[in-house]
Structure 1
Amino acid sequence: MIFISLVINTSAQVLRKRTTMLMGSRWQITIVAGDSLRAEQNIDTVIQEVSRIEYLISDWKPASQVSQVNSNAGIKPVKVDPEVFALTARAIQLSESTGGAFDISFAAMDRIWKFDGSMDTMPSAELIRKSVEKVGYKNIILDSANSTVFLKLKGMKIGFGALGEGYAADQCREMMLKKGIRAGIVNGSGDISSWGTQPDGKPWTIGITDPMNNDKLIATLPLRESSVVTSGSYEKFVMFNGKRYSHIINPVTGYPVTGLTSVTIVGPSTETANGFSTSMMVLGKDAALSFIKRYPEYRYILITEGGQFISSPELKIRKKNQ
């Protein structure tokens, strides 16, 4: 989906990179510092911070606060840390602004669509309708005075998923900047938070791959202190009656999205970019373009199923030969 181009030279700054598993996904952490020891120590600090956040918001760790909220759905409100409360509030705000195209209560959806090659028939309309019965951000009740989260319906669940990864990447960037680390990248399963430049002063560079050919690069984009996230429907999908159904599901209808193959968002926040890219996949081209233009600090690259490439004019994209 995305690659990071790194140039290492013999400048005074040292670059160190490590890949590890966090939040159930592959993370790549790159730190530029004055010496190798400091770089490695700060990579350790990033890993510790991501692990801390994971234990707060994971919906599959029974002891996490989010798991406690889910297990008390329809029973009682659960007091959570201000950090978890604020993240939940922002997710609900995103749900409202997208008309439900984004919804953290999607975690309760029945997994009736399979994208592992085992599906040979399309689910019935009734089964699809029932699959989203417990999904609905309007049934999440927040009490700011008591810092509680309450899910009104039995069986409801919330889950931050990639949004949580984006949040963790943002937190790590801010932590490193406060510690005086002038450059680096925190890449949480494709949710990229970057700052500063490479040791030779050149900007970090991302490559946008062709959704129909992962070995082909269609554009490159330089980054400076920004986040980039791509959502795509080209890796997991099923075909029924000649129609392509992607693994990204509309939380309102229960049907897979169609129309867009990938959405890349570039902007100041990895968390927000993640929410925008997912929402825009659900909204489709026209509604997505109308939505993102309300947020001028965020740039976009859309690729349609027909191969159309649409991008913000402000992005300094270097397109490759098609």
Structure 2
Amino acid sequence: MLQKVPKQYLAQTRRIFHCNCKIKIPIEFGEQLLEKSFEVLEEIDRKYNSYVSGSFFNRINEMRGSWVTVDKDCIEMINTIQKVSVITKGHYDITCMPLLRLWGFYKEDNHKLPKSDELAYALEKVNFRSILTDGLNIKINTEQEIITGSFIKAFAVDKTIAFLKSQGVTDAVINAGGSTISSLNDASHPAWKINIPDPFNKEAFKTGLEISSQTFSLSGSVDNHLVIDGKKYGHILNCITGYPAETLQTGVLTKSAFLGDVLSTALFTVPAVMRNEVTAELKKHFDFDYFIIDNDNKKILAECFQYLR
């Protein structure tokens, strides 16, 4: 009796989008295709990342108050993001950079809470409705700044998955920082099993979630938070109050990595009292499953999303 030979893969990890990005493809496609796949990620980083000088979103920020010509992808991303921001009633807002700077997420150390008048002043600059589009042009207010952290890495993953499919790849996985994991699957390998970090124990994982030509998107504050007066404050902000959101972790299953990252961040920002209403409205526009974990360890599981097995 012949023994089945395990399928072999090529894998490589590189530092892109301020995180470790790993691509894994069947070995028969070779190192050259792996190299070209990373080139797709790197091109999106250069072209759209708000932290990269000369990118579309960096130019929008640098030329705030003036119209900036962009491309179709920029406009489509902004249109989707603004729709989600409307549904979350502004709790998710990509113009939140003034708040992030105020809290000290871009300082080496910070040991004090923002004062109420400082928060009020920063909040005046945060308003997704002030992102204007006209054809292939975008303009923001003179004191605004867009941050692409909640969506651009996932957008790059979508582009890379599309590239792999165009090259005939039907079995692959991309893991971008653990927060965006996107797969291709076929009959020879119907699913990829992934681990989800336990929000209460950095060293532990929940196991058993399988994705099949899907994306799993994760938002959490375990690895990115401030400690002020002994209390942890996460980096994902409620853009209505100006304070870090109280949620511990959200996970979303979608076909699109971009949409998954937007929704996982958006759901993270929404207060518990609004969650059912907001989620029901999001479901009218987008196809996704999700879970949410609050500080009291209360889980919300949507339909067929098997978080624990």
**In the TM superposition, what is the alpha-carbon distance from 1:125 to its structure 2 partner?**
0.8
Give the share of equivalent positions with the same residue, in percent: 20
Distance 1:195 1:159 in 2: 29
| Residue matched to 1:4 | none
| Residue matched to 1:235 | 223
**In the TM superposition, what is the alpha-carbon distance from 1:141 to its structure 2 partner?**
1.0
* 1:40 pairs with one of 17, 27, 31: 31
* Residue segments in structure 2 that go unaligned for 5+ positions in a row: none
**In the TM superposition, what is the alpha-carbon distance from 1:244 to its structure 2 partner?**
4.6
Q: Say if 1:317 and 1:124 are closer, same or farther in 2 by CA, change over 3 A.
A: closer
Most deviating of 187-196 and 287-296: 287-296
| Residue matched to 1:87 | 77
C-alpha contact (below 8 Å) 2:249/2:293 kept by paired residues: yes
Local SS of the residue matching 2:5: coil
* 1:138 pairs with one of 129, 133, 137: 129
| Residue matched to 1:97 | 87
* Residue segments in structure 1 that go unaligned for 5+ positions in a row: 1-8
**In the TM superposition, what is the alpha-carbon distance from 1:218 to its structure 2 partner?**
3.4
Local SS of the residue matching 1:91: helix
Q: Which amino acid aligns with 1:225?
A: S
Distance 1:65 1:197 in 2: 36
Q: Which amino acid aligns with 2:222?
A: Y
How far does the alpha carbon of each residue in 1:212-263 deviate from its partner, in whole angstroms, 9 at most, with x for none?
Answer: 11222334211101001111123344456776532221223211111x2100
1:63 aligns with 2:54: yes
Distance 2:223 2:57 in 1: 29
| Residue matched to 1:148 | 137
* 1:15 pairs with one of 3, 9, 19: 9
1:276 aligns with 2:271: no
Distance 2:244 2:306 in 1: 32
Which ranges of 4 or more aligned residues in structure 1 deviate by more than 4 Å? 238-244
TM-score (norm: length of structure 1): 0.85
Local SS of the residue matching 2:222: coil
Local SS of the residue matching 2:40: helix
Distance 2:306 2:268 in 1: 23
Local SS of the residue matching 1:157: coil
The 5 Å alignment of 1:204-219 reads: 204-219=192-207
Q: Which amino acid aligns with 2:70?
A: V
| Residue matched to 1:180 | 168
TM-score (norm: length of structure 2): 0.88
Distance 1:137 1:42 in 2: 39
Q: Say if 1:60 and 1:297 are closer, same or farther in 2 by CA, change over 3 A.
A: closer
C-alpha contact (below 8 Å) 1:56/1:84 kept by paired residues: no
| Residue matched to 1:298 | 288
| Residue matched to 2:42 | 51
The 5 Å alignment of 1:225-264 reads: 225-238=213-226, 244-258=232-246, 260-264=247-251
C-alpha contact (below 8 Å) 2:110/2:228 kept by paired residues: no
Most deviating of 287-296 and 244-253: 287-296
C-alpha contact (below 8 Å) 2:171/2:189 kept by paired residues: no
Cα RMSD between the aligned structures?
2.4
| Residue matched to 1:196 | 185
Distance 1:240 1:159 in 2: 24
* 2:301 pairs with one of 306, 311, 314: 311
**In the TM superposition, what is the alpha-carbon distance from 1:114 to its structure 2 partner?**
3.4
Distance 2:300 2:100 in 1: 34
Q: Say if 1:205 and 1:55 are closer, same or farther in 2 by CA, change over 3 A.
A: same
Q: Which amino acid aligns with 1:68?
A: R
How far does the alpha carbon of each residue in 1:303-322 deviate from its partner, in whole angstroms, 9 at most, with x for none?
Answer: 12112232123124443xxx
